[in-house]
């Protein structure tokens, strides 16, 4: 695991040195740079495999003129290494980075199809004067780039791009609408004008000033459906889960597991412990009056025999928000950012690598929003009236209004309602001047994922949207930033592409049955876990932001929204933001997510646009604004 950066065209060693400083948290064990003619690479290393200096980066082969900077892990590197040695390649380390280097020499771009793992990398091919960038299939590891005069600059994190003197921090207005609609900014767009995210499963080639991108993999639900008895499919899934988890335990340092107490992380922990000679370290965070599942995590730990560590999270959102926004770099309204940050901090006190249970919901229809979109019938009812307030009204009336909407619409529309802040709401919220800057509708991308999904069954389109939308842009984005802020590598065995491609071939009833997802996964889990863990229940780290907004956090939000700086942005009408807060605090509406998204956006603006310190609390920001 590392951080990488570099440039082609204009640049200097000073730029590379600045990049390594900005990426030091991603790789505190070693830093390095390489400079060629009109090209440079930078890398920071978190040593996991081959801890010797032989694994340091950037790594090059002077005889062929190929140089690489690599972030991630290749779990089948030993198999590839054996094949390359049989083809005459000599190795000087035991690192997967060198396998990538020599594999590119042997197979060039087609190496992507051979890689099993999570990765983002940059390869400079001197004979061709070509830069080749690529990102893993699901988007576990990030990679960003921006065009500069006569070239390109790229890095694992956006902040490192701004080490290049040709780039300046500028807001992309349309990306703000994406964020306020979806809760994240979907790739390839970022919140910064001119900065792009290389999407999952994509490559980029720069040569002679020309840039092209392409896609090398996509999840496809149209492969031949698996047949056979359910018990046989349970056995096969069990074997494939064991293969995926075992492959992800490969390391020259101890490996732990994030253990929330839910079925996914518990199953990963149980299988990982089965393949470990010593008790694993497991980690969980509880949130007071929020998603506190520590009791379940303790039960799993006792059952599998792990060395368990837990911590109760204090309500520290206002103290940590600016720091979190600095590491996230883009606004993200997911309030589980804080517990993810805290559990990563806890884990790093004991290990450098953890496994997580992320990736179990998307292919198995495990999310509540997907479930409710699927289970309700569509009836020939007249559509619900206009406005947006009904979507947030509390009590029986609000519940009935939302139920009426769901019954009068198809599954895809029920899904979109749950995933997006409606256009009616956003038009009400925005200033007239900002509305004119937006252009396209933020819903278009999500609707495209639904419309263009390669599926056998139309219900699978919702899973396709979860896999290509929410998973990489929210879940994996959040986990990478919060873990790497603490120099912690997080591996995701449930997203092993060999396993995922098999799961996508399952009959629908093996994934979703009797109104619940994860049917086959639960049957496997029953072999490893207590019945109380396998039983469906509400899961996950949650922070009770809605409740906190009735107290001190709400007072801070009011001060933010009433500030001159907030009004001067010209994005959200100040009176409307304050009205939202008043509606929420009245108890008649549940607008916690919408208000929190505005708090995060304004904090992001103060850190990234106004240059306020990310080490100060939200309260200090508010007080400084008031005194200024």
- Higher model confidence: residue 147 or residue 289? 147
Say if CB 259 and CB 308 are below 8 A apart.
yes
Residue 605 known to be catalytic = no
With contact defined as beta carbons under 8 Å apart, do 263 and 539 qualify?
Answer: yes
Alpha-carbon span 208 to 203, nearest angstrom: 17
Q: Which of 22, 109, 98 is nearest to 60 (CA)?
A: 98
Cis-peptide, bond into residue 58, ω within 30° of zero: yes
pTM (2 decimals)?
0.96
- How far apart, in whole angstroms, are the C-alpha atoms of residue 457 and residue 431? 42
**What's CA 498's distance to the chain center, in Å?**
20
Report the C-alpha gap between 74 and 113 in whole angstroms: 12
User: Contact at 8 Å (CB) between 207 and 133?
Assistant: no
Supply 166's token pair: 């040709």
Mean pLDDT of 331-348: 94
State the pLDDT at residue 290.
65
Peptide bond into 114 cis (omega under 30): no
Q: Percent of the chain beyond pLDDT 90?
A: 90
- Interval 463-470 mean pLDDT: 97
Q: What is the pLDDT of residues 482-511, one digit of tens each?
A: 999 999 999 999 999 999 999 999 999 999
C-alpha distances in Å from residue 402, one per residue of 303, 384, 385, 422: 41, 9, 11, 13
Alpha carbons 112 and 5: distance in angstroms, whole number: 20
pLDDT tens-digit map of 129-183: 999 999 999 999 999 999 998 899 999 999 999 999 999 999 999 999 999 999 9
Report the pLDDT value the prediction gives residue 535, as an integer from 0 to 100: 86
Task: Please state which of the ranges 12-16, 113-117, 541-545 shows the lowest mean pLDDT.
Answer: 541-545
CB 131 within 8 A of CB 109: no
- Give the least confident one: 107-116, 400-409, 517-526, 529-538: 529-538
pLDDT of residue 627: 66
Q: Which of 335, 324, 319 is nearest to 619 (CA)?
A: 319
Which of 2, 42, 123, 131 is labelled catalytic?
A: 2
Residue bearing tokens 């019945």: 531
The string over 41-68, giving b where at least 16 C-beta atoms fall within 10 Å of a residue's C-beta and e elsewhere, is bbbbbbbbbbbeeebbbbbbbeeeebbb
66 pLDDT above the threshold of 80:
yes
Residues in the chain, how many? 628
* pLDDT (mean) for 49-64: 92
Q: Using an 8 Å Cβ cutoff, are 324 and 298 in contact?
A: no
For residue range 528-546, list pLDDT tens digits in order: 999 999 987 655 567 889 9
pLDDT at 382: 87
Structure confidence at residue 162 (pLDDT): 98
Q: What is the set of domains in the chain, with CATH numbers?
A: 2-215 (3.60.20.10), 230-364+462-534 (3.40.50.620), 368-458 (no CATH), 545-627 (no CATH)
Q: What is the pLDDT of residue 486?
A: 97
H, E, C per residue of 385-437: CCCCHHHCECHHHHHHHHHHHHHCCCHHHHHHHHHCCCHHHHHHHECHHHHHH
Q: Which of 276, 186, 238 is nearest to 499 (CA)?
A: 238
Cα separation, 391 vs 434, whole angstroms: 24
Contact 524, 267 (CB under 8 A): yes
pLDDT, mean over the chain? 94
Q: Would you say residue 329 has pLDDT above 80?
A: yes
Confidence tier at 313 by pLDDT (50, 70, 90): confident
pLDDT digits (tens, 9 = 90+) for 406-465: 999 999 999 999 999 999 999 999 999 999 999 888 899 999 999 999 999 999 999 999
Whether the CB-CB separation of 192 and 181 falls below 8 Å is answered with: no
> What was the pLDDT predicted at 291?
64
| Predicted pLDDT of residue 317 | 82
Q: How far apart are CA 50 and CA 551, in angstroms?
A: 51
pLDDT in tens, 596-628: 999 999 999 999 999 999 999 999 988 887 765
pLDDT of residue 540: 58
| Helices within 249-336 (DSSP H only) | 263-274, 294-304, 317-328
Q: How far apart are the first and last CA of the chain?
A: 43
Short-list 223, 121, 118, 143, CA closest to 496: 118
For 450, how many CA atoms within 13 A lie in the half-sphere containing its CB? 18
């Amino acid at each position: 695991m590392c951080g990488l950066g570099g440039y082609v065209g204009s640049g200097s060693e000073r730029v590379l040195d600045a990049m390594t400083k900005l990426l030091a948290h991603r790789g505190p064990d070693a830093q390095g740079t390489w400079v060629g003619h009109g090209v440079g690479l930078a890398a920071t290393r978190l040593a996991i495999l081959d801890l010797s200096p032989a694994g340091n980066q950037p790594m090059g082969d002077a005889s062929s003129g190929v140089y690489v900077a690599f972030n991630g892990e290749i779990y089948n590197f030993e198999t590839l290494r054996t094949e390359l040695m049989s083809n005459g390649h000599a190795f000087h380390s035991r690192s997967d980075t060198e396998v990538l280097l020599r594999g590119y020499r042997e197979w060039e771009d087609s190496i992507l199809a051979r890689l099993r793992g999570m990765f983002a990398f940059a390869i400079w091919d001197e004979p061709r004067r070509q830069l080749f960038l690529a990102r893993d299939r699901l988007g576990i590891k990030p990679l960003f780039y921006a065009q500069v005069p006569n070239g390109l600059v790229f890095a694992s994190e956006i902040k490192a791009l701004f080490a290049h003197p040709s780039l300046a921090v500028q807001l992309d207005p349309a990306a703000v609408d994406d964020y306020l609609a979806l809760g994240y900014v979907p790739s390839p767009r970022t919140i910064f004008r001119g900065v792009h995210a290389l999407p999952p499963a994509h490559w980029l080639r720069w040569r002679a000033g020309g840039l092209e991108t392409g896609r090398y993999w996509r999840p496809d639900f149209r492969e031949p459906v698996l047949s056979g008895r359910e018990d046989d499919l349970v056995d096969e899934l069990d074997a494939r889960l064991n293969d995926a988890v075992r492959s992800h335990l490969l390391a020259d340092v101890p490996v732990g597991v994030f253990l929330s107490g839910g079925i996914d992380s518990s199953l990963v922990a149980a299988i990982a412990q089965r393949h470990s000679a010593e008790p694993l370290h497991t980690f969980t965070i509880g949130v007071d009056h929020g998603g506190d599942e520590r009791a379940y995590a303790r039960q799993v730990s006792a059952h599998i025999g792990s060395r368990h560590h837990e911590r109760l999270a204090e309500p520290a959102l206002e103290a940590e928000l600016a720091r979190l926004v600095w590491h996230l770099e883009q606004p993200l309204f997911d309030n589980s950012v804080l517990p993810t940050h805290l559990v990563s901090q806890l884990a790093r006190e004991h290990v450098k690598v953890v496994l997580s249970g992320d990736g179990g919901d998307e292919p198995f229809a495990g999310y509540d929003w997907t479930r409710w979109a699927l289970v309700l019938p569509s009836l020939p009812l007249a559509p619900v009236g206009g406005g947006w307030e009904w979507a947030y009204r509390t009590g029986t009336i609000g519940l009935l209004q939302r139920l009426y909407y769901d019954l009068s619409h198809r599954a895809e529309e029920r899904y979109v309602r749950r995933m997006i802040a409606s256009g009616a709401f956003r038009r009400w919220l925005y200033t007239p001047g900002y509305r004119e800057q937006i252009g396209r509708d933020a819903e278009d991308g999500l609707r495209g994922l639904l419309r263009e999904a390669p599926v056998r069954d139309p219900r699978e389109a919702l899973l396709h949207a979860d896999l290509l939308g929410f998973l990489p842009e929210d879940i994996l984005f959040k986990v990478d930033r919060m873990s790497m802020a603490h120099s912690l590598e997080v591996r995701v065995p449930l997203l092993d592409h060999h396993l995922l491609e098999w799961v996508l071939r399952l009959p629908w009833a093996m994934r979703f049955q009797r109104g619940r997802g994860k049917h086959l996964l639960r049957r496997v889990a029953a072999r490893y876990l207590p019945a109380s863990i396998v039983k469906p229940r509400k899961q996950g780290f949650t922070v009770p932001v809605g409740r906190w907004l009735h107290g001190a956090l709400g007072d801070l939000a009011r001060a933010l929204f009433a500030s001159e700086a907030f009004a001067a942005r010209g994005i959200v009408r100040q009176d409307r933001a304050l009205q939202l807060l008043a509606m929420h605090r009245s108890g008649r509406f549940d607008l916690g997510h919408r208000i929190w998204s505005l708090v995060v956006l304004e904090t992001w603006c103060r850190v990234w646009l106004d240059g306020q310190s990310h080490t100060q609390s939200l309260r200090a920001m508010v007080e400084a604004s008031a005194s200024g």
